[in-house]
Amino acid sequence: MTLTTETHAHLGVSHPLDPLSREEISRVVAVLKEGPAAAESFRFISVELREPAKEDLRNGVRVAREADAVLVDRAVGRSFEAVVDLEAGTVERWVQLAAGVQPPFMPDEFAECEEACRKDPEVIAALAKRGLTDLDLVCFEPWSVGYFGEDAQGRRLMRALVFVRDEADDSPYAHPIENFIVFYDLSAGKVVRLEDDQAIPVPPARGNYLPKYVGEARTDLKPINITQPEGASFTVTGNHVRWADWSFRVGFTPREGLVLHQLKFRDQGVDRPVINRASLSEMVVPYGDTAPVQAKKNAFDSGEYNIGNMANSLTLGCDCLGEIKYFDGNSVDSHGNPWTIENAICMHEEDDSILWKHFDFREGTAETRRSRKLVISFIATVANYEYAFYWHLFLDGSIEFLVKATGILSTAGQNPGENNPYGQNLNNDGLYAPIHQHMFNVRMDFELDGPNNAVYEVDMEYPEHNPTHTAFKAVDRLLETEQQAIRKTDSAKHRFWKIANRDKTNLVNEPVAYRLIPTNGIQLAAGDESYVSKRAQFARNNLWVTAYNRTERFAAGEYPNQATGADDGLHIWTQQNRNIVDQDLVIWYTFGMHHVVRLEDWPVMPRQNIGFMLEPHGFFNQNPTLNLPTGTTPTTTTNDDTCCHTTNQ
């Protein structure tokens, strides 16, 4: 079936890429409950837009408005995928997934696990033996069980770490109950195992950061006021945004959170496509500690937890500052009820220092232009950690993806006086935090000036004949197949990668291109034989390039929860070794933070920035920002623009 403009209006959407509304989510749930998911034992994991084929969008083909849904039937312990035609109200596809496939957890499943652990008689008795009798102060923090060689036998399991508070507002992460793990089966609705090993004294020292514990706030910082008297420079129509020369669409999914669609840059009056779709694909947080509880800490925050569902409702003056445009995020709880994360995505402009400047000392004149960036962001809380994800668009066509990591360390306990070599002591009472990594993968479906692109690796090389010993040059190497394009960063060679369109050339007859500057290009520290490395093979390398396939969406595969990593993900798809020269390409970049914990990270961690840049590299024939105005209204005592256009007398 196809949708006309009228039927799109009937569904309350203005564009085929608009995320599902609450009403559409309710309709999908109703259709499924009236059909194959009628049993009370079904739980909903996600209901989201089934994005139309980009070829149809590119060619202006009218497309059906459809939804993808993932469900779990707790009665039989099996998972299902469905496709629902929203206009017809029919189930177009219903597939039972292979035994053992476990979709991500839902927020209300986390709450269910904690409540069940708190009421379990065996857990209550075991905690009492450790002297913990006030269950209201005990915190059960559900993690995925991962995979460590033990078959879950079809069970949908959670692994709860345990902490305790001294009082209601006390930070529980100061008081881990070490060597105490509770396993909960969501399908059975009960605790199925308790690991209660050698007891270690609960660290007594507090680690609080709330104002009532910290004391009076300092008063010597004067206000910084950010004002835009004429309003923001962007225009928003539905989910479509135009700012300066950029245009794009804002999307949101439960798995990825913020998604950017159809990113284009207007050059000489022409909107030139750059990236068709960009989003966080996956992330994994492996821990390097060998202690029994800590060694099994690794979390795939996207594929196991649906990080989009954990997005915060952002607030003005705290999370975002300036003239703000918010976008809500719609999702579904496990019972099929739609819920809205209000202000899930924040968009605003920021001043960005100088963009370019030159002082002509001969003439005594200076020209300066200030930069600004458009910031599109969301922040997710995954138990103890906060991850703030930012896409920055710059006036010169550059793009930055930035992750700001903050929140609270995942702590561990040891006997007072011990010093674990795999962590940092946070006090002298037995509290420490293990060394770990935060590894991210971003998927970018490029469409640089058209659908057919190629990728070059660019290294700095010394020529063989170098009599002055000062010569060096950049050398391009075309990456021709998927296997050739599995690459690591190399700072000794100042390596970067170019995404080029060889059918389009610039002023000097070179292919138009963007370059990926691989900052924070670390790799997974865990050995290849470790279970986490086998499951997160995307993090062994930094660059992956694949020929586009709409089913290849997530770097660690569609369902990494409790999976072995043996049959899905980038390392499997690239075994096809497809041609990637002048093809429709997807660029996957892995980067991360090697978190050697420091005392300053406690009791709450100052923000750490990690990310990468994309820059035009011959995409334009010259600096595209020459037409910027010579000044902006200063915030001091003058209203002229002489600060940016000056002549020395």
203 occurs within a structural domain: no
Do 472 and 462 form a contact (C-beta atoms < 8 A)? Answer: yes
CA 103/CA 258 separation, integer angstroms: 20
Do 199 and 181 form a contact (C-beta atoms < 8 A)? Answer: no
For residues 537 and 389, state if they share a domain. Answer: yes
pLDDT at 1: 28
159 occurs within a structural domain: no
Strand 325-332 with 338-360, pairing: antiparallel
Give the long-range contacts of residues 7-10, CB within 8 A, separation 24 or more: 7/65, 7/87, 8/65, 10/87
Distances (CA, A) of 389 to 6, 239, 323, 510, 538: 36, 19, 19, 34, 20
Q: What is the pLDDT of residues 97-135, one digit of tens each?
A: 999 999 999 999 999 999 999 999 999 999 999 999 999
Where a domain ends, among 76, 96, 116? Answer: 96
Do 450 and 503 form a contact (C-beta atoms < 8 A)? Answer: yes
Active-site hit among 184, 385, 390, 456: 385
Do 1 and 87 form a contact (C-beta atoms < 8 A)? Answer: yes
Task: Chunk the chain into consecutive blocks of 10 residues (it has 649) and report each block's average pLDDT, rounded to whole numbers.
Answer: 40 84 98 98 98 91 94 97 97 97 96 97 98 97 96 94 97 98 97 96 97 95 93 97 98 98 97 98 98 96 98 93 96 97 98 96 95 98 97 98 98 96 97 98 98 98 94 97 98 97 98 98 97 98 98 98 97 98 98 98 98 98 96 47 54
Other C-beta atoms within 10 Å of 629: how many? 10
644 occurs within a structural domain: no
What dihedral do alpha carbons 602, 604, 605, 607 form, nearest 10°? -160
Opening angle at CA 590, ends 371 and 51, nearest 5: 80
Tell me whether residue 559 is one of the annotated catalytic residues: no
List the helix and strand counts (H, then E) for the chain: 8, 31
CATH for 50: 3.10.450.40
- DSSP assignment of 225-287 equals ----TT--S-EEETTEEEETTEEEEEEEETTTEEEEEEEEEEETTEEEEEEEEEEEEEEEEEB
365 occurs within a structural domain: yes
Do 588 and 440 form a contact (C-beta atoms < 8 A)? Answer: no
Where a domain ends, among 96, 114, 130? Answer: 96
598 occurs within a structural domain: yes
DSSP lists the bridge partners of residue 298 as 286
Active-site hit among 301, 396, 429, 568: 301
382 class by beta-carbon count within 10 Å (0-12 exposed, 13-18 middle, 19+ buried): middle
pLDDT at 6: 39
Question: Which helix (H) or strand (E) covers residue 327, if one does?
Answer: strand 325-332
Question: What does the block give as tokens for 80?
Answer: 């299902």
The number of residues in the chain equals 649
CA 157/CA 143 separation, integer angstroms: 9
Which residue in 401, 429, 459, 458 sits closest to 610, CA to CA? 401
Strand 42-50 with 66-73, pairing: antiparallel
Helix crossing, 121-129 with 107-119: angle to 10°? 60
Question: What does the block give as tokens for 446?
Answer: 């490029």
Do 498 and 515 form a contact (C-beta atoms < 8 A)? Answer: yes
Question: Which helix (H) or strand (E) covers residue 211, if one does?
Answer: helix 211-214
pLDDT at 119: 97
pTM across the whole model: 0.95
CA 389/CA 379 separation, integer angstroms: 6
629 occurs within a structural domain: no
CA 16/CA 49 separation, integer angstroms: 9
42 class by beta-carbon count within 10 Å (0-12 exposed, 13-18 middle, 19+ buried): buried
CA 373/CA 284 separation, integer angstroms: 29
DSSP lists the bridge partners of residue 184 as 158, 191
CATH for 547: 2.70.98.20
End-to-end CA distance of the chain: 72
Of the CA atoms within 13 Å of residue 309, those in its CB half-sphere come to 27
CA 446/CA 543 separation, integer angstroms: 14
Q: In angstroms, how far is CA 11 from the centroid of its own chain?
A: 29
DSSP state of 394: E
625 occurs within a structural domain: no
The domain of 24 spans 5-96
For residues 392 and 245, state if they share a domain. Answer: yes
Do 331 and 341 form a contact (C-beta atoms < 8 A)? Answer: yes
Which residue in 385, 443, 445, 441 sits closest to 591, CA to CA? 441
CA 619/CA 31 separation, integer angstroms: 47
Q: What is the pLDDT of residues 144-158, one digit of tens each?
A: 999 999 989 999 999
User: Please, where are the H alpha helices in 296-443?
Assistant: none
567: left (phi over 0), alpha (psi -120 to 50) or beta: alpha
Q: What is the pLDDT of residues 7-40, one digit of tens each?
A: 454 555 689 999 999 999 999 999 999 999 999 9
Other C-beta atoms within 10 Å of 22: how many? 16
491 occurs within a structural domain: yes
Total number of domains constituting the chain? 2
For residues 240 and 91, state if they share a domain. Answer: no
Tell me whether residue 301 is one of the annotated catalytic residues: yes
Q: What is the 3-state secondary structure (H, E, C) of 64-122?
A: CCEEEEEEEECCCCEEEEEEEECCCCEEEEEEECCCCCCCCCCHHHHHHHHHHHHHCHH
Three-state secondary structure call for residue 25: helix
Q: For residue 269, give every residue at least 6 positions away whose Cβ sits within 8 Å of its Cβ, in sequence order, or none.
A: none
